Amino acid sequence: MACKDTQKQKSKGLRHFLPGIPDPDQNRIIPSSTPGNQVWQPEPHPPSSFLPNVSVPSGLEYLSQLDLIIIHQQVELLGMILGTETSNKYEIKNSLGQRIYFAVEESLCFNRTFCSTLRSCTLKITDNSDQEVITVNRPLRCNSCWCPCYLQELEIQAPPGTTVAYVAQKWDPFQPKFTIQNANKEDILKIVGPCATCGCFDDVDFEVKTINEKLTVGKISKYWSGFVNDVFTNADNFGIHVPADLDVTVKAAMIGACFLFDFMFFEHSLAGL
């Protein structure tokens, strides 16, 4: 009983970043994407009273209401036919299947061809009025458990031009490990992935933990899409399970982390089959 009380006190000590704990048994929904018949989420209400002293960046008001964020990668037919790597596009939805954001990768064809999944790129995230609200910058970095330096990193800007968070890979010979950092590059949360990320016939969960890894506050899941999708397309579905009252900049960083995990662990093309 004393152990449980200690964990609760630690979660409260992380200021406003971790005000709640998600329900581990929460059901998830993976809504289908139908071009031309997309349902958008209505305009958000002002942030709730549980964030009285937190300034919400413009455009991130949608995130203040969510405890489940679905990220659906769009199927690129040209890439399927030609076996080439095309710019990624993602729909970001709530648990009701309503689109809240749309993300488009901007990268050079040369980088996609010769740097493949390590390529530098920028992902621009727009809202339902086509206003860019989040920019995710990914520089060219290494990706190897044998290389402890110059590892993967993302910069999250919200609004564009204002850095609010980073996602940085940490060296570990056995498990994928990352940290979510604030604008000053101070560690806030840690993300720990499984030893094997192949996800054969099952979901792949990346647990979001406190820095000491003693308390789990959420998770990022790569949902298994079925044999046909996994083999013949590079379209992936992710789910972000977080406390609804988690700081919106941390939620934006977790969206960026989903993109990074897609590139690092799940991206493939027919050219590699």
Q: Give per-residue pLDDT as tens, 69-91.
A: 999 988 766 655 655 667 889 99
Q: What is the pLDDT of residue 196?
A: 74
**Between 193 and 227, residue with greater pLDDT:** 193
Residue 265's closest CA among 204, 191, 201? 204
Q: What is the pLDDT of residue 15?
A: 43
Q: What is the pLDDT of residue 268?
A: 62
Indicate the pTM of the whole model.
0.76
pLDDT tops 90 at residue 44: no
Q: What is the pLDDT of residue 252?
A: 97
What is the percent of the chain where pLDDT is above 90?
44
Strand partners, 260: none
**Between 81 and 122, residue with greater pLDDT:** 122
Q: How would residue 23 be classed by pLDDT, with cut points 50, 70 and 90?
A: very low
CA dihedral of 145, 147, 148, 153, whole degrees rounded to 10: -80
pLDDT tops 70 at residue 35: no
74, 101 contact by CB (below 8 A): no
CB burial string 45-60: b at 16+ within 10 A, e below? eebeeebeebebbebb
Segment holding 223, helix H or strand E: strand 216-223
Q: What is the pLDDT of residue 172?
A: 84
Segment holding 169, helix H or strand E: strand 163-170
DSSP 8-state code for residue 97: S
**Between 152 and 19, residue with greater pLDDT:** 152
Q: How would residue 30 be classed by pLDDT, with cut points 50, 70 and 90?
A: very low
Q: What is the pLDDT of residue 67?
A: 94
CA dist 77 and 142 (Å) reads 29
pLDDT tops 50 at residue 100: yes
pLDDT tops 50 at residue 231: no
* Residue 224 in tokens: 């298994």
Q: How would residue 220 be classed by pLDDT, with cut points 50, 70 and 90?
A: very high
- The listed range with the strongest mean pLDDT (106-110, 139-143, 146-150) is 106-110
| Burial zone of 32 (CB within 10 Å; 0-12 exposed, 13-18 middle, 19+ buried) | exposed
65-266: which CATH topology? Tubby Protein; Chain A (3.20.90)
Report phi then psi at 15, rounded to 5: 55, -140
